[in-house]
Structure 1
Amino acid sequence: MAQDEVPDKTVVNDFYTHRLDKLLGISGVKAALETRAGFEPDFQVNWNTVRDWNETSRYDHSTTEAKARDMLVAVADPNSGF
């Protein structure tokens, strides 16, 4: 996009979201993520864990300790973490 070009409103709104699928699309890395997930089962598992997160998830009192640990592993794994 050119410096003096006004971006599409949908794109601007997508910047102000916590939806990972939208942010990955804007950043241009969605295709690479999908390719990697297709070749690396552990990465796919971690992506499946992380992609459902949203800004209200942290306030969900029904979240179990196991689910919280899964999220930590999915994000922090040095080899296949998201």
Structure 2
Amino acid sequence: MDIPVEMTKNELEKLADLRLLEARILFDNNAYQGAYYLCGYSIECALKACIAKSFKANEFPNKKLVNDSYVHNLDQLLKLSNLHPIFQIDKTANPDLEINWGIVKDWSEAYRYDFQIDQILAQELIDAVSNNQSGILQWVKRHW
């Protein structure tokens, strides 16, 4: 089976929700390292969906933006998604949003190798991503 080279905005949105669901399933089954790892990918997919929104049909995309988007760095993806200025405003109105971003932004794909992720760290990330009032995924969804 071939892995798709390109993905649509809608596919990335679905993956964001799916990765969070998978993270919760793993967490509920005491697989905290996998839960943490997949939860971070949920935000990566969500931010990449926002980046995909900036590409117009029948328009040759900016090569630097495309190349810079192929990363796992959530801070960089937030900036590339053009949501950083909005985040600066929204975090003032909702300080918990800033706290949650402080937790989420430190995620890295390198955590797939980390055996030290415990229940507390996994729960903290899942909460920061999925909180209905100030969760990062909920916030990104309002802008995609």
Taking structure 2 as the reference length, the TM-score comes to 0.49
Structure 2 counterparts to residues 33-52 of structure 1, below 5 A: 33-52=87-106
Q: Does 1:18 align with 2:72?
A: yes
Q: Which blocks of at least 5 consecutive residues in structure 2 are unaligned?
A: 1-54, 137-144
**Number of residues of Structure 1 aligned to a counterpart in Structure 2:** 80
Tell me which protein shows more helix as a share of its residues.
Answer: 2
Q: Distance in 1 between matches of 2:88 and 2:111?
A: 23
Give the fraction of aligned pairs with identical amino acids, expressed as a percent: 34
Q: Aligned match of 2:128 in 61, 74, 79?
A: 74
Give the CA RMSD over aligned residues: 1.9
**Other-structure match for 1:7:** 62
Q: Does 1:59 align with 2:113?
A: yes
Q: Which blocks of at least 5 consecutive residues in structure 1 are unaligned?
A: none
Q: Distance in 2 between matches of 1:63 and 1:51?
A: 16
One-letter amino acid of the structure 2 residue matched with residue 49 of structure 1: I
Structure of greater relative contact order (alpha carbons < 8 Å, 6+ residues apart): 2
Runs of 4+ in 1 over 3 A off after TM superposition: none
